[in-house]
Amino acid sequence: MLFILGLGIYAQAHVSAEVQSIIEHADHVYYLLNDDNAKAWINERNSNTTDLSIYYKPNINRRHIYTAIVQHVIDHLVPDEQVCMVFYGHPSVFVDPGLEMVRQARAKGIPAKLLPAISADACLYADLEFDPSISGCQMYEASDFLHRDLRWDVTANLILWQIGVVNHATSSEDEVDSSGIRLLVQKLLQSYQPDHEVTIYEAAFRIFQQPRIEHIPLKELDRARLTSISTLHIPPQV
């Protein structure tokens, strides 16, 4: 049995009782995490673990890295063992390998299950204090939004993920591309007023850490400080 798990955004503080139990009783635990404390937490609960961040190499396309990670787990699956793969956040939100592992495991005749976890959008709704069901909510990966011919509703909330790495989302380097951000702003200004207030959001990673919530006019977005984890929230324009 293969379980695909997520630790949430606050790692240990967000982990569900079900996920913790599976980690503790698994025959082997694979993980891909960005927090050393989360890695230590897993290693304290299971002695048979493998850190798959070893596949991250400079100047390697991220899709190639994901393919190698999926192949590693699938190649080591044993039908009568309980194995889990643990990711940061939610295991199917911006986590291509999780869904691919489920598909490939089932193709080999091995049962696979993906469990829910707290994701960045759940944190965003709470930290920005809005209900996505009111006015509606649309969300896109920033590079995908930039390059596709989309029709979106400006009277609904719009969330753009990974704006800091627009045009670099498949790179293993978290490089901010200012030219891509300028193109993104130009596209948005075709539908929104220049002074329409938008929010740069970055979820907190630890319990007592504060999230980054920066409100700015849309026209100033290309001059703002952005990182690889920056998300853009654009509220409805009325």
Q: What is the pLDDT of residues 30-41, one digit of tens each?
A: 999 988 999 999
Q: Does one domain contain both 8 and 77?
A: yes
Number of domains making up the chain: 2
Three-class SS of residue 131?
coil
Residue with tokens 């999780």: 98
Q: Which domain holds residue 130?
A: 120-234
- Judged against a pLDDT cut of 60, whether residue 171 lies above it is answered with no
- Judged against a pLDDT cut of 60, whether residue 115 lies above it is answered with yes
Q: Does one domain contain both 137 and 218?
A: yes
More confident residue, 190 or 174: 190
Q: Does one domain contain both 91 and 135?
A: no
CB 122 within 8 A of CB 116: no
Closest listed residue to residue 132, CA positions, set 142, 140, 122: 122
Average pLDDT over residues 206-231: 93
More confident residue, 237 or 167: 237
Q: Give the domain CATH number at 34.
A: 3.40.1010.10
Q: Does one domain contain both 89 and 149?
A: no
CB 216 within 8 A of CB 197: yes
Q: Give the domain CATH number at 127.
A: 3.30.950.10
Please report the pLDDT score of residue 179 as a whole number: 85
Residues taking part in catalysis: 62, 66, 88
Q: Does one domain contain both 229 and 188?
A: yes
Please report the pLDDT score of residue 207 as a whole number: 75
Q: Does one domain contain both 181 and 83?
A: no
CB 159 within 8 A of CB 142: no
Q: Does one domain contain both 160 and 197?
A: yes
Give the tens place of pLDDT for each residue, 176-205: 668 889 999 999 999 999 999 999 999 998
Q: Does one domain contain both 105 and 137?
A: no
Pick from 62, 80, 114: which residue ends a domain? Answer: 114
Q: Does one domain contain both 162 and 124?
A: yes
Pick from 92, 114, 136: which residue ends a domain? Answer: 114
Average pLDDT over residues 136-149: 94
Across 7-129, the runs of DSSP E, i.e. the strands, are 28-32, 49-51, 83-87, 112-114
CA distances from 20 to 5, 11, 26, 59 (A): 9, 11, 10, 35
Q: Does one domain contain both 86 and 142?
A: no
Give the tens place of pLDDT for each residue, 64-90: 999 999 999 999 999 899 999 999 999
Please report the pLDDT score of residue 190 as a whole number: 95
Q: Does one domain contain both 79 and 128?
A: no
Single pTM value for the model? 0.88
Q: Does one domain contain both 129 and 210?
A: yes
Confidence of residue 172 (pLDDT cuts 50, 70, 90): very low
Pick from 114, 134, 159: which residue ends a domain? Answer: 114
Structure tokens at 99: 């869904």
What contacts 33, CB < 8 A, 6 or more positions away?
7, 11, 39, 42, 51, 53, 86, 87, 88
